[in-house]
Structure 1
Amino acid sequence: MSRPRLVPRMDANYDLLRELTESHGAPGHEDRIRDIVRRELADVVDDIRTDAMGNVVATVEGAETPDYEVAVAAHMDEIGFMVTHVTDAGFLKLDALGGWDPRVLRAQRVTVHASEGDIEGVIGSPPPHTMSEEERESTDEVADLYVDLGRDGETVADLVSVGDVVTMAQDTRVLGDTVTGKSMDDRVCLFAMLEAAKRITPDVTVHFAATVQEEVGLRGAKALGVDLDPDLALALDVTVANDIPQFSDESKHVTELGEGAAIKLKDGSVITNPKVHKRMQSVAETRDIAHQLEVLPAGGTDTAGFQNTNGAKPVGAISVPLRYMHTVTEAAHEDDIDATVDLLAAVLDTEDGAHDYQL
């Protein structure tokens, strides 16, 4: 009997992916992720800087056509919470930072990022047999939840302040052919961007942008789009893979795990440039990179931030299919991760500034 694999077959660096996903970085508090990005890119780019919002921009100067610029964006933040109140008994009340489904939050472990250090806690959940039928059938709201730190009120008041951020506590594991954990949205795409940056020798100038506050309205990319004026903008983000039992209608799957990188045609914030996504398809076919097409009915990515803030820009996006998005068990297929790295690197290495993206 064969033993289960502890690491995936991925071509890329699993240890880095695990570090990125297990690290914490709620919107506006991406410091730990920013440090990893700067460390990983320091020796492979010509310039690296951080703006006032916390976006990291790492630039590789083009070898042949440096005046033609491409921006590639992936966001650093994960959905989380902010403490709004500390009760006299020592329980924490929360406000959401990003789009949570409160049904998945009860009885989860969390990390409170206090000024004196991280504190582990749990989101409380009363035993179902002590609840009335009305209570069992009620719909949770984030404001109804509370964090229990296992300490008395006086101690908690000394440790935690209003405004401290809270993130989910979860490790990253290999589950068959998938990698699962918290914050795969969007750390798996940030990972893909970092890995691609290490592989390319571009003819054009490429700005690798690790953005902030995407989960609360694409805020980092919108601000970055004012400072950068690229000729082409590409975003990396996860997309829905509803290839699970609750969705028997395959037309609602959006993407499927194991079928390759997803080339975005549209989402709720952007319709990508047809010439850009057709070139991506051509590159994928020429290089024999597994890919699929994505039409996402709702949601948005950093692509729209570039398109909306610095005028009319040709934009495109590559997505990693993800099951169980915005939970602590988000799952991506290792082959799709590899395909995303391969496709991004191939697109950047074959961009010469001469492709016509005008419509």
Structure 2
Amino acid sequence: MDETLTMLKDLTDAKGIPGNEKEVREVFERYISPLADEMKMDNLGSSIAKKIGKEDGPKIMIAGHLDEVGFMVSRIDDKGFIYFQTVGGWWNQVMLAQRVTIMGSKGDVTGVIGSKPPHVLSADARKKPYEIKDMFIDIGASSREEALEFGVKPGDSVVPYFEFTPLKNEKLLLAKAWDNRIGLAIAIEVLRQLKDQEHPNVVYGVGTIQEEVGLRGAKTATHTIQPDIGFGVDVGIAGDTPGISDNEADSKLGKGPQIVLYDASMVSHKGLRDFVVKTAEENDIPYQFATIAGGGTDSGSIHLTGNGVPSLSITIATRYIHSHAGILHRDDFENAVKLIVEVIRKMDSDTVKSLVLA
């Protein structure tokens, strides 16, 4: 496994739901801190790596979020079964019988999401999606006391379990938490490629917290940085699996990073968007346009900070997001990095001023 794949494995295998991103932050900082001139953390826990090209140059923020969708223990019944609260958006049909890890006080505890077996359900009930409120986690405890003895208690984080796996087509990578460890990887790799390059900016590679529950860490991190330009780097919807029409999503794996025109959190800044598209075309970097009717990225918070920050979301088409496992294409990751690096190399103070007026 090469260095890039090792980094991606370390990032995706790490466990971190909104409000408990420490493990992921430690992995992120292990990779990005050697590439930065300065590291700091805001008071909520977002990690900020600063890389200076020109001390008084424009401040460019590249934000991926540390957290992944998961669950939180809400109560333990007398028989030792765990009930939970979803943390982030889940579709109940992808949850049943899936393995999870509870981050308990005495170490990780393995469990599986359980429900009534279909054999005891009525014919009508079997036709309906099983409701999340009726699901539970089985950790093999025989009582509430035994579950507590295992180190499990209300408030503990529950994380989907899945191991990073390259598929037979080695460009296709299967893992949990691509949303949004791929954004962290983009921020890391951009700083790596800028390490020995001259550029007219101050670049911030940021791992934000609590994106999945309201783009929260991006608010505080952006207030801390006060950037001139913001990029939210995240996953996007892939439309290349059976049953999805082009009207719903037309992006395909391996066809380039997505330039998001619109989502529920932001209309992309036209001047910045046009500049990024022009840069991609000048450097023969493939790209795709995308619109997302529901959901948003950290750009939704970044662009509203202070007196406004011209912002754009650049995303990686990913299959099966907000589930235990997703698939994306390595070329899309590498081309997103290449595109952002080329943009940074061109983004001087005059360019930023012209973009704001575009």
Please give the range of the TM-score, normalised by the shorter of the 2 chains.
over 0.9
Structure 1 residue aligned with 2:216: 219
Residue identity in the other structure for 2:147? V
1:221/1:95 Cα in 2 relative to 1: closer, same or farther (>3 Å)?
same
Q: Deviations over 1:274-313 (max 9, x none)?
A: 1111111111111111111112222111111111232222
Q: Distance in 1 between matches of 2:83 and 2:175?
A: 24
How many residues are paired up? 348
Residue identity in the other structure for 2:306? N
Q: Deviations over 1:163-217 (max 9, x none)?
A: 0010101111122231112101110121111111100133211111110000000
Question: CA shift at 1:53, angstroms?
Answer: 0.6
Structure 1 residue aligned with 2:158: 166
1:111/1:255 Cα in 2 relative to 1: closer, same or farther (>3 Å)?
same
The answer to whether 1:62 aligns with 2:53 is: yes
**Residue of structure 1 aligned with 2:177, choices 162, 178, 183:** 183
The answer to whether 1:93 aligns with 2:90 is: no
Q: Distance in 2 between matches of 1:353 and 1:237?
A: 26
1:1-359 aligned at under 5 Å gives the runs: 13-63=4-54, 66-153=56-143, 154-158=145-149, 159-175=151-167, 176=169, 177-200=171-194, 201=197, 202-247=199-244, 249-355=245-351, 356-359=354-357
Determine if contact 2:276/2:343 at 8 Å carries over to the other structure: yes
3-state DSSP of counterpart to 2:304: helix
Q: Distance in 2 between matches of 1:73 and 1:220?
A: 10
Determine if contact 1:261/1:292 at 8 Å carries over to the other structure: yes
Residue identity in the other structure for 2:355? Y
Q: Tell which deviates more after alignment, 213-222 or 308-317.
A: 308-317
Question: CA shift at 1:254, angstroms?
Answer: 4.0
Residue identity in the other structure for 2:124? E
Q: Distance in 1 between matches of 2:288 and 2:9?
A: 25
Q: Distance in 1 between matches of 2:343 and 2:206?
A: 16
Q: Distance in 2 between matches of 1:350 and 1:14?
A: 29
Structure 2 portions without partners, runs of 5+: none
Give runs of ≥4 in structure 1 deviating > 3 Å: none
Determine if contact 2:35/2:192 at 8 Å carries over to the other structure: yes
Question: CA shift at 1:234, angstroms?
Answer: 1.1
Question: CA shift at 1:340, angstroms?
Answer: 1.2
Q: Distance in 1 between matches of 2:87 and 2:193?
A: 34
Question: CA shift at 1:12, angstroms?
Answer: 6.9
Q: Distance in 2 between matches of 1:293 and 1:321?
A: 11
Question: CA shift at 1:41, angstroms?
Answer: 1.6
Question: CA shift at 1:134, angstroms?
Answer: 2.9
Determine if contact 1:12/1:195 at 8 Å carries over to the other structure: no
Q: Distance in 1 between matches of 2:115 and 2:73?
A: 18
Identity of aligned residues (%): 32
Residue identity in the other structure for 1:358? V
Determine if contact 1:102/1:141 at 8 Å carries over to the other structure: yes
Residue identity in the other structure for 2:260? K
Q: Tell which deviates more after alignment, 322-331 or 123-132.
A: 123-132
Structure 1 portions without partners, runs of 5+: 1-6
Residue identity in the other structure for 1:264? V
- TM-score computed with the length of structure 1 as normaliser: 0.93
Q: Distance in 1 between matches of 2:77 and 2:275?
A: 56
Residue identity in the other structure for 1:207? Y
Structure 2 residue aligned with 1:4: none
Determine if contact 2:73/2:153 at 8 Å carries over to the other structure: yes
Determine if contact 2:12/2:176 at 8 Å carries over to the other structure: yes
- TM-score computed with the length of structure 2 as normaliser: 0.93
Determine if contact 2:57/2:200 at 8 Å carries over to the other structure: no
Q: Distance in 1 between matches of 2:246 and 2:312?
A: 25
Question: CA shift at 1:155, angstroms?
Answer: 1.1
